[in-house]
Structure 1
């Protein structure tokens, strides 16, 4: 029995060694003339054994030993190569650009044309240029990447929807200067706020009259045409794209410390005459033998409100999962995106969930049908740094200008720096910035549901009839509450 067991172990070891020797690993790097290429397909010719290059252009795959192996290396925009491996274990490849494929295709509304054939002024950006930008907003991802297009935000509130896009300057003073947004052929209001950057395949901006004429007056301020990603014929591909990070304020404004602040207030009160001096004494006291409140105030600890209001380490994260694929004549793509973001300012945060589905099929040789469904659910908490109205309601103004010290009174009491100071409010209309934020509640909920469909019928060679239809539903729910110490309330009703 022991003899047979010994022979069995020898045979098993020999089989294991033979199996180990029958496989070998090949590694390598794929580059263009200027940089490493991610996402390049490396396939063993005649098999389904393959791999894709990582962001540094590296790949690794296992091939049989003792058999001739040829690698087929291909990527969109580059000439495919077939490389015999031989006995090599390291394969470094440089792909050449395919001039025919690299002719940029620009969408101009009713057709797609090569850039060299476009007579109008067009700016374009592709998915490759924005895919690694760690932001949750499509507007932020496109900032600085479209020539002649200005994207500005009024403030850095998480989920801020007030992003101004200007294609041809300011234009009208009294009318809206925003461009027209067209997503997969359907007009959508404020499209950059309801689309995840990870879902964008290309953005083309039509800037002059010849390019926007098809849209009539709606295109007078320019047209932003967004094309979302779609699936490719072949096996189903599941991909994940995510990032996490922390944001913090990089620079704060210089503000006066207690000694300089009191000097400024005293000089300011002198120009206001007797009433100003009396107001200064009421707020900060005076020098006398009984109670030298001025000296006590000068020696008070310095309070920089910017540290308390904008001192958060704001954590943000984004997760995007997509499923794409198709069979001959039919492709599909489903993308799920989840964003969470804390605000740098106290009492602010943002959450968003996005679903994007695209389906395209060639029903017949001449008829093509497409469907797009998009759902966006988001919540933005916090009043931001400013709101519409007078400067009294600005949280940024209160943070920078509020008194930076504890105020001793002549009667020996000290006005707590974190409390409401009615006397200071009457003379300055300023409220403690912490109380301001904690006494104002803003919750902005928005749900957007968009459905679009299109059909394209080839009537003759080079002549296609295309029709699109869709609808866009947005539900706004803005909840607000102003507490007792909110500047908005106190401005309207006076001291309470």
Structure 2
């Protein structure tokens, strides 16, 4: 029988290792920790040497600690950015401790991929996210804490409970290749959802942005890398138990809702304005017009009168959302072990009914010094996500008429109040729905320090991801109201095995670091689906599928493998000149036989100019470093793209007048030469710190070129195939990034810090297929795919408009009418045609982004607010926002959002067309999505040490926070960042207010 040692057993062992110190009579020492300017240092660590006895200084730098002996005890005092001190008490019970700033450690340690570096030694574009500033924001997903905090890291908004926002680093660099950012969790590539991670467990997030820094991850790093490190305990520190709880109330950040009865009826009148008003100007009401003659017959009673209902479908299908979070952890360590155990529970109810998200999680991190040369450890978590429940159909909630109701006189749901194909929106809500996502992650490592060769270490990481996804459901209204039910279950597993050999030595003025890596990844997945319909009864729902008359099953599976090798050299001379060189070789099973492997080299140089003698006397320059990096990273294809694919279509006709017979045929050609996309990037950067590091930041300028774009090229069907996956084209991606932090005010009682981030990014298609079919010597655009040489990937190419045709206007072209858009005739030939009259209108990508974080602190009170903005200028950051109505049965029948500014003869300046007849061409309208958002506000009060001592607590604070409190924009609709205009199917971004408590002891 196998013996299994659980992570909890390891944790209990860790606790046991720290127990055993003899109880001694203790004596009290008080003191204050300050910097060289005699300003207090809060949260400095004070530990009695040789024990686990330790405390932290309070907001005023003061501390109280019980020690074993006033004569012999030694206190180790430390804080990030300062030189640690060891102080022998020699009988003293009161201390004033001055910590000296350490230039070497003033900038923090950052994770750089397969290791860490001091920020002062980094040569690539690596940024650390300030997640501490948003730890009390109502963010159920850690990615929400990254919105706007790192220039070049672009994180979108969310509109569903627990959802993961879109994440992109430095814009788009591919057409159809993988565009996902690579996520590395505790050193292991992570392919799960970020919604499975408890944000409270995250210690730091570092962002690798340029080819020099991402080259260590080779083939999967063309879109940048997020390095996530979770929290751990600290050695020689007594256990610290922390607990936090919070409640958040949420609602839409814009007040959009469907029309109520009166506005709905005015909409019907507007769509029939030629009957509702008297000509010729159609501004005088027609006294003979009766709305009952124009609405759908379901909205009229037996006497021909309008139903008197004013039912609020939107109010019945929505609610005030909320988030309840409870998190607890214990962390500490002994001489040879450190540990962290964390549990959490998050319950979020979204604005739409049944938009539910519930997460339970547990994490255990343990590090053990087995000997003085051997370390072992584990970082592991389990996450259990519950998203049961199916929402009412949002589009149907908006479009259902307020003159109708969802229930009959007996309280039963009406299947279709309209008696048409539009169903009752609450049918989707009144179902059986189970959605569960169980995730398990474990990284086990072992590290050996070879004492016989100083500086040589070997580490092996074995990471495992396992995920189970379940989607079960049944509905008595499904399959044409015959009832249907089904179960879909997916299993996913991957492992990563990394062998890492490092060598770090200092020889006089030379610092040398070498890293060798050999690793492999395997990913496997399988899915089983069972579906049935045609039930006589559906009492047992999806748990009795055999009762359905029609039964269907399907299944699938996949497996893919990667292996890789990497060598990295880090060299520093005289603490002034830095050199980094990397080469990585990647192999992927999904690539074609002739190109299984790719090579990705990079190099970077750094110059710490502030350490040169000629700047020694320039007192206001504390840090000045220049960097330049150049490298190649890759992008891999989907696992089967190099192979031929089969499709099913009408293939044969037997005999004259026979019906087509379906068959399978090859729809795409195989390509044995399909190869990796390659992104070559140049990055030039500068890091600086001025005026005693009161002002610090960095500037990055970059230019990336992506070659051999993975693209599905259409080929003439006469060949017997529709397409071939191949490598074509070239894209340029360039931009500027600036981050600036300043200590505006630094005093005993009041501090004010501001961080400003700014970034620009623009991509441009340089080459496509290379074809010149019209023979003009210029490469052809792929108009049908929306791709144009010299333009961005997000180019909008369509008709330009110039207002709306008015009643009585002369020379309205054939096919157009009062109330329709006036389309610009670009070539002046009197006709509107797709070939000659469509132009580039702009692009979807923004012109620039900026954010401002202000943090104020006065004694025990701290306040921060964060402004985030995306700007487009005249022709950038455009979004589709057309709201056109033409008279038809459905446009009269359906409801729409309230407050839309429709054109009418009596409202000639209305911006949204209404016409009794659809025109020949209805061009889409694109609007500027620029906005400034008050994204986060947080107010915290930390209680005095005197009260904490009375309560035997090490920390106690109360906080209030707000999310998405105000948005300033000219965009009309749900939210500019989500690119949802005045659409009936839109979802709101949620505004939230939180209150919470943090306790530690």
Q: TM-score, structure 1 length as denominator?
A: 0.72
Selected match of 1:453 from 428, 440, 444:
444
Superposed displacement of residue 28, structure 1: 7.6
User: Partner of 2:264 in structure 1?
Assistant: 261
Pick from 374, 382, 393 the counterpart of residue 375 of structure 1.
382
Change (3 A) 1:324 1:363: same
Alpha-carbon contact 2:202-2:231 (below 8 Å) kept: yes
More helix by share: 1
SS at match of 1:293: coil
Among 448, 470, 480, the alignment partner of 2:473 is 480
Partner Cα separation in structure 1 for residue 454 and residue 419 of structure 2: 76
Moved more, 360-369 or 313-322: 360-369
Distance in 1, matches of 2:482 and 2:274, equals 30
**Counterpart Cα distance in 2 of 1:115 and 1:345:** 45
**Cα contact 2:184–2:228 (8 A) shared by 1:** yes
Contact 2:35–2:100 (8 Å) recurs in 1: no
Residue 331 (structure 1) aligned with residue 334 (structure 2): no
Q: Structure 1 485/465 Cα, relative in aligned 2: closer, same or farther at 3 Å?
A: closer
Write the deviation string for residues 333-374 of structure 1: whole angstroms up to 9, x where unpaired: 222222223333223433222222222233444443332222
1:340 is aligned to 347
Secondary structure at the aligned position of 1:381 is classed as: coil
1:269-418 alignment runs, 5 A limit: 280-285=295-300, 291=303, 293-294=305-306, 297=308, 300-301=309-310, 303-328=311-336, 330-383=337-390, 395-406=393-404
- The 5 Å alignment of 1:36-435 reads 38-41=42-45, 51-53=55-57, 74-78=78-82, 97-125=101-129, 128-157=132-161, 159-160=162-163, 162-190=164-192, 192-251=194-253, 252-268=255-271, 280-285=295-300, 291=303, 293-294=305-306, 297=308, 300-301=309-310, 303-328=311-336, 330-383=337-390, 395-406=393-404, 419-420=413-414, 422=416, 424=418, 426=420, 429=422, 431-432=424-425, 435=426
Give the stretch that moved more between structures: 374-383 or 25-34. Answer: 25-34
Gaps of at least 5 residues in structure 1 are 1-22, 385-393, 408-412
* Partners of 2:139 and 2:479 in 1: CA distance: 32
Task: Pick closer, same or farther for the CA change 1:306–1:188 going to 2, 3 Å.
Answer: same
Per-residue deviation at 1:249? Answer: 0.5
SS of 1:422's partner is coil
Aligned-residue RMSD, C-alpha? 4.7
Can you list the C-alpha shifts for 1:273-301, whole angstroms capped at 9, x where unaligned?
xxx99772513339xxx94623x64xx44
- Range that drifts further, 181-190 or 168-177: 168-177
The alpha-carbon deviation at position 32 of structure 1 amounts to 10
Q: 1:249 to 1:363 in 2, by over 3 A?
A: same
Distance 1:133 1:327, change over 3 A: farther
2-structure distance, mates of 1:399, 1:36:
57
8 Å Cα contact 1:72-1:83 kept in structure 2: no
Secondary structure of the structure 2 residue equivalent to 1:397: helix
Q: Secondary structure of 1:233's match?
A: coil
The alignment partner of 2:151 has SS state of coil
The CA distance in 1 between the partners of 2:158 and 2:419, in whole Å, is 27
CA distance in 2, matches of 1:168, 1:312: 36
Distance in 2 separating the partners of 1:488 and 1:200: 48
Q: Equivalent residue of 1:232, what SS? A: coil
Gap change, CA 1:142 and 1:376, over 3 Å in 2: same
Structure 2's unaligned 5+ residue stretches are: 1-26, 276-290, 484-532, 534-1001
Cα distance per residue 1:164-221 (max 9 Å; x no partner):
2212323445444212221122222135233212221211121222212222212222
| Structure-2 change in CA distance of 1:168 and 1:70 (3 Å) | closer
For 1:424, what is the secondary structure of its paired residue? Answer: coil
Q: Is the 8 A contact 2:160 2:355 kept in 1?
A: no
Q: Deviations over 1:207-252 (max 9, x none)?
A: 2222122222122222211112222111332321312213220443
TM-score, normalization: structure 2? 0.38
**Counterparts in 2 of 1:405 and 1:37: CA distance versus 1, 3 Å:** farther
Contact 1:406-1:416 at 8 Å conserved across structures: no
Give distance in 2, aligned partners of 1:305 and 1:32.
Answer: 65
**Superposition deviation, residue 266 in structure 1:** 4.2
Question: What secondary structure is seen at the aligned counterpart in 2 of 1:203?
Answer: strand
Distance in 1 (alpha carbons) for counterparts of 2:482 and 2:177? 31
Q: After alignment, is 97-106 or 361-370 more displaced?
A: 361-370
**Matched residues in 2 for 1:292 and 1:268: separation?**
21
Judge conservation of contact 2:448–2:458 (CA < 8 Å) in 1.
yes
Kindly indicate whether the alpha-carbon contact (under 8 Å) linking 1:431 and 1:487 is maintained by their aligned counterparts in 2: no
Looking at structure 2, the residues matched to 482 and 92 of structure 1 have their Cα atoms a distance apart, in angstroms, of: 71
Instruction: Check conservation: 1:320, 1:335, Cα contact below 8 A.
Output: yes
Higher strand share: 2
Kindly tell me the number of residue pairs found equivalent between the two proteins. Answer: 439
**Greater shift in the superposed pair: 341-350 or 31-40:** 31-40
Deviation at 1:43, TM superposition (A): 7.0
Deviates more, 1:203-212 or 1:276-285: 276-285
- Give the whole-Å Cα distance in 2 for the aligned partners of 1:126 and 1:488: 53
Cα pair distance change 1:204/1:397, threshold 3 Å = same
- Name the CA shift for 1:397/1:233 in 2 (closer, same or farther; >3 Å): same
Deviation at 1:417, TM superposition (A): 11
Residues 430/222 of structure 1: CA separation in 2 closer, same or farther (3 Å cut): same
Q: Distance in 2 between matches of 1:48 and 1:333?
A: 15
| Secondary structure of 1:110 counterpart | coil
Give the match's secondary structure for 1:327. coil
